[in-house]
């Protein structure tokens, strides 16, 4: 079985995406998580250009990586100085990594107009930089920047840059679609044409790699095309993060290579951790997970139409291209007025709620009535479970609201300030707490946590809100209109959604917030007060 090697550049190329910023400690946590997934190469950053990346490499040197080779990034030496005098090359060596990756120019436009050097000088810079790293006992990957654009305009020169890198001893030649504009059929053709050039220039086996950007929404397709032509290293990022439109998404490419194309790459057990890794990286990057992300997204295996649900209850392959559990995901059935009895019965079974035929019909009627009022249960599994339990007399609240009060104070020259007081009943005991927040919902959240924390400390510690949405359902009523509030909450392993609807935005927020806590606490298998200290 042929092998594919995954080269992750989330910690370098991924951080060039908007709103993504990792501390050195964040980068170390992500690197260790990628290593546990079985990624073969982890590019930690550019130690010669960033003090934060240099700090990361110093921290990483104290840890043992079980699966991955840690890689430092840089560029060819500066024109006019010798490689051994170049700080970027020396930073790679001093970072104590096993692999160095440097990029160089393959497009004559960049050589002459951006670098401002002669074509021959650029070839020498490529060759001498790689040779210097090889002399220092590093495995060297050469990133041929803008290779496909350069090859399309001046194939003869683009080939010379690859020959220079190969003859210098590069272990891998990575062809880069840096602008993200090349189409799959051209990627496959060009990789096929350059492969014999690489083979002829070296006496040893040199791996061909592919690095694609997603500006034409083709990064994954282009990576597949390159593999078909002989590439065996795939560069990409977790969740496709990166500059402009991002990079090739390894969360798609890993299962495609293993499950669809049959390459040896990562283990079956590691594959089951993909969704967790995807969520971990999005959380560390402070990026809201995209539900529609293939393979690992919350909606990747979600079914809404009644006909679809009826079919998958008999044979999942009828509407699914693979078993979601292979990548750590799960099948979800959504509830709405588009669904029917099959949807209700599937969800009840999934949630462990016992209903009969007549019960499912009553639930459908109630769901449709609530959706007429503005509820939308296909995006709020947490609230739907609670509604199902209430309609079947199986709901056991872990707390009950007695009252709450929220005050908002705004001084002339000061920002608004919120304060919430809440009274709840927990197993017959009254809890009264107060808390402040950055807004009324934040204050309510903090007050509820405070009231429950000493009882459910172990459970509530890792959970927090990750998204809060408000939508006016019918705008003609103006400020008196009914609003829908959706809250996404997550812990270390999962995300769940809850909903509230009311003419009062604070009331709707409380409904969604309360359901979020009830849902989490309802997942405890033992007595509700089992976590009490």
In this structure, what CATH number is given to the domain that contains residue 202?
3.20.20.70
Summarize pLDDT for 191-203 with one digit per residue, the tens.
999 999 999 999 8
How many degrees, rounded to 5, is the angle at CA 146 between CA 145 and CA 147? 90
**Under a CB-based contact definition with an 8 Å cutoff, are residues 356 and 392 in contact?**
no
- Please give the Cα distance from 310 to 303 (Å, whole number): 10
- Distance of alpha carbon 176 from its chain centroid, rounded? 22
- Please give the Cα distance from 48 to 45 (Å, whole number): 9
Summarize pLDDT for 287-345 with one digit per residue, the tens.
888 889 999 998 898 877 667 777 877 888 888 899 999 999 988 776 655 555 667 77
Burial class (CB in 10 A: 0-12, 13-18, 19+), 155: middle
- Please give the Cα distance from 408 to 499 (Å, whole number): 23
User: Could you say which of 231, 263, 295 is where a domain stops?
Assistant: 263
For each successive 10 residues of the chain (533 residues), what is the average pLDDT?
94 94 92 96 95 95 94 96 96 96 97 95 98 97 98 98 97 98 98 96 94 98 98 98 97 98 96 93 86 91 75 82 92 63 70 68 78 79 86 87 92 85 90 91 91 79 81 64 87 84 92 92 55 39
In this structure, what CATH number is given to the domain that contains residue 493?
3.30.160.270
pLDDT for the residue numbered 532? 40
In a domain? residue 472: yes
Domain count, the chain: 2
In a domain? residue 386: no
Question: How many percent of the chain have pLDDT more than 90?
Answer: 64
Summarize pLDDT for 65-75 with one digit per residue, the tens.
999 999 999 99
**Under a CB-based contact definition with an 8 Å cutoff, are residues 148 and 186 in contact?**
yes
Summarize pLDDT for 130-149 with one digit per residue, the tens.
999 999 999 999 999 999 99
In a domain? residue 67: no
- Please give the Cα distance from 481 to 351 (Å, whole number): 33
pLDDT for the residue numbered 374? 83
What's the number of CA atoms in the CB half-sphere (13 Å) around residue 513? 23
pLDDT for the residue numbered 529? 42
Strand partners, 486: 469, 499
In a domain? residue 83: yes
pLDDT for the residue numbered 530? 40
Helices (H) and strands (E) in the chain, counts: 18, 16
Number of other CB atoms surrounding residue 221 within 10 Å: 17
User: Could you say which of 224, 245, 263 is where a domain stops?
Assistant: 263
In a domain? residue 16: no
**Under a CB-based contact definition with an 8 Å cutoff, are residues 98 and 139 in contact?**
yes
**Under a CB-based contact definition with an 8 Å cutoff, are residues 327 and 274 in contact?**
yes
Q: Regarding beta strands 483-490 and 495-502, do their DSSP bridges make them parallel or antiparallel, or are they unpaired?
A: antiparallel
**Under a CB-based contact definition with an 8 Å cutoff, are residues 248 and 237 in contact?**
yes
Of residues 482, 471, 463, the one with CA closest to residue 531: 463
In a domain? residue 112: yes
pLDDT for the residue numbered 105? 97
pLDDT for the residue numbered 316? 83
CA distances, 269 to each of 38, 118, 469, 493 (Å): 10, 51, 36, 16
- Distance of alpha carbon 270 from its chain centroid, rounded? 16
Q: Regarding beta strands 400-409 and 69-75, do their DSSP bridges make them parallel or antiparallel, or are they unpaired?
A: unpaired
In a domain? residue 465: yes
Give me the phi and psi of 420, to 5 degrees please: -130, 140
Domain that holds residue 507: 400-522
pLDDT for the residue numbered 164? 97
Summarize pLDDT for 416-458 with one digit per residue, the tens.
889 999 999 988 889 999 999 888 999 999 999 888 887 887 7
Q: What is the end-to-end Cα distance of the chain in Å, rounded?
A: 54
User: Could you say which of 245, 263, 281 is where a domain stops?
Assistant: 263
In a domain? residue 316: no
**Under a CB-based contact definition with an 8 Å cutoff, are residues 72 and 25 in contact?**
no
């Amino acid at each position: 079985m042929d092998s594919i090697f995954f080269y992750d550049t989330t910690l370098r190329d991924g951080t060039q995406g908007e709103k993504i910023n990792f501390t050195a400690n964040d980068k170390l946590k992500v690197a260790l998580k990628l290593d546990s997934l079985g990624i073969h190469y982890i590019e930690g950053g550019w130690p010669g250009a960033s003090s934060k990346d240099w700090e990361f490499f110093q921290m990483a040197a104290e840890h043992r990586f079980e699966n991955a080779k840690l890689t430092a990034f840089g560029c060819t030496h500066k024109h006019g100085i010798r490689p051994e005098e170049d700080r970027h090359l020396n930073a790679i060596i001093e970072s104590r990594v096993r692999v160095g990756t440097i990029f160089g120019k393959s497009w004559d436009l960049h050589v002459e107009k951006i670098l401002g050097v002669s074509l021959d000088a650029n070839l020498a810079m490529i060759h001498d930089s790689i040779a210097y790293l090889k002399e220092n006992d590093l495995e060297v990957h050469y990133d041929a920047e803008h290779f496909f654009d350069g090859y399309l305009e001046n194939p003869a020169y683009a080939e010379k840059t690859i020959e220079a890198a190969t003859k210098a001893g590069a272990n891998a030649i990575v062809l880069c679609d840096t602008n993200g504009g090349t189409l799959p059929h051209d990627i496959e053709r060009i990789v096929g044409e350059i492969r014999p050039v690489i083979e002829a220039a070296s006496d040893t086996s040199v791996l061909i790699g592919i690095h694609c950007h997603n500006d034409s929404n083709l990064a994954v397709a282009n990576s597949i095309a390159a593999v078909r032509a002989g590439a065996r290293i795939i560069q990409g990022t977790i969740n496709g993060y990166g500059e402009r439109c991002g990079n090739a998404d390894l969360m798609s490419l890993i299962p495609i290579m293993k499950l669809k194309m049959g390459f040896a790459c990562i283990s079956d057990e590691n594959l089951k951790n993909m969704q967790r890794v995807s969520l971990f990286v999005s959380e560390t990057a402070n990026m809201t997970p995209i539900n529609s992300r293939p393979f690992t997204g919350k909606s990747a295996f979600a079914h809404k139409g009644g006909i679809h649900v009826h079919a998958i209850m008999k044979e999942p392959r009828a509407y699914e291209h693979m078993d979601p559990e292979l990548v750590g995901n799960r099948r979800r059935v959504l509830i709405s007025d588009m669904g029917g009895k099959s949807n209700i019965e599937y969800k009840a079974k999934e949630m462990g709620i016992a209903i009969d035929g007549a019960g499912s019909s009553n639930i459908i009627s109630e769901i449709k009535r609530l959706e007429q009022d503005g509820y939308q249960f296909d995006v709020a599994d947490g609230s739907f479970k609670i509604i199902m339990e209430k309609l079947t007399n199986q709901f056991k609240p872990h707390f009950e609201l007695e009252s709450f009060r929220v005050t908002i104070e705004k001084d002339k020259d000061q920002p608004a300030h919120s304060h919430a007081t809440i009274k709840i009943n927990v197993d017959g005991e009254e809890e009264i707490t107060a808390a402040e927040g950055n807004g009324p919902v934040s204050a309510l959240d903090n007050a509820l946590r405070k009231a429950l924390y000493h009882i459910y400390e172990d459970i509530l510690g890792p959970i927090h809100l990750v998204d809060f949405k408000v939508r006016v359902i019918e705008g003609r009523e103006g400020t008196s209109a009914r609003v829908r509030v959706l809250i996404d909450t997550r812990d270390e392993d999962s995300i769940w959604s809850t909903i509230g609807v009311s003419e009062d935005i604070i009331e709707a927020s409380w409904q969604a917030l309360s359901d979020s806590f009830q849902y989490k606490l309802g997942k405890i298998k033992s007595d509700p007060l089992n976590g009490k200290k």
